[in-house]
Amino acid sequence: MKEFEKVPYRAMTVWKQRAALMHAIIWIVFGVGFFYAQHYSIPLFPLAIIGGLLLIWSILQIGILPRLRWQFHGYRITEQDVWLYDGGWSQKTTVVPLFRVQHVQLGQDPFLRRANLANVELETAATKHHIRGLDLYQAEELRDLLLQRLKEEKHV
């Protein structure tokens, strides 16, 4: 397998920030539930088990999985295909033929915008494929390259 283009290290930081925000909300909801369980004399043992599992899940989602995902997240463009690499525990390689791509789009959320990153979305008739966490200039160049190859392929 040829080497693929990796996304910037900053992308892993953005993934961790998103996961931390999501888990902060989950922990607030859990805390409110725990408070009401104490108030209404509901047994706390099941909530303690749920809290322990939630703690393990939070550690995995914030601390471990973003790093695993970053190590195998990237892309490679050949003359006829776009190869997308993604994974964490399990690794996935997707090959998208260029002639199948109908639409290329860039996207940013507030986390990505602050880190000057963008997601590239390749849309085919069947599904959408994503390259997450590219530098903004790199994402724009990739979009332009893909659109240029699409025009050459379709002789527009």
148 and 92 both lie in a single domain = yes
66 and 77 both lie in a single domain = no
Q: Which structural domain, as residue segments, surrounds residue 63? A: 5-70
- pLDDT at residue 58 tops 80: yes
78 and 148 both lie in a single domain = yes
Q: Which long-range contacts (CB under 8 A, 24 or more apart) does 15-24 make?
A: 15/66, 15/69, 15/70, 15/133, 16/62, 16/63, 16/66, 17/111, 18/111, 19/61, 19/62, 19/65, 19/66, 20/62, 22/61, 23/57, 23/58, 23/61, 23/62
The pLDDT tens digits for 84-108 are 998 877 888 999 988 888 888 999 9
Higher-scoring residue by pLDDT: 21, 77 = 21
Q: What would the mean pLDDT of 108-119 be, rounded to a whole number?
A: 94
145 and 83 both lie in a single domain = yes
pLDDT at 1: 47
pLDDT at 155: 54
115 and 132 both lie in a single domain = yes
Q: How high is the mean pLDDT of the chain?
A: 89
The pLDDT tens digits for 4-55 are 888 999 999 999 999 999 999 999 999 999 999 888 888 888 889 999 999 9
Which pTM value belongs to this model?
Answer: 0.83
How many domains, the chain?
2
- pLDDT at residue 62 tops 70: yes
54 and 34 both lie in a single domain = yes
Q: Which of 26, 54, 70 is the last residue of a domain?
A: 70
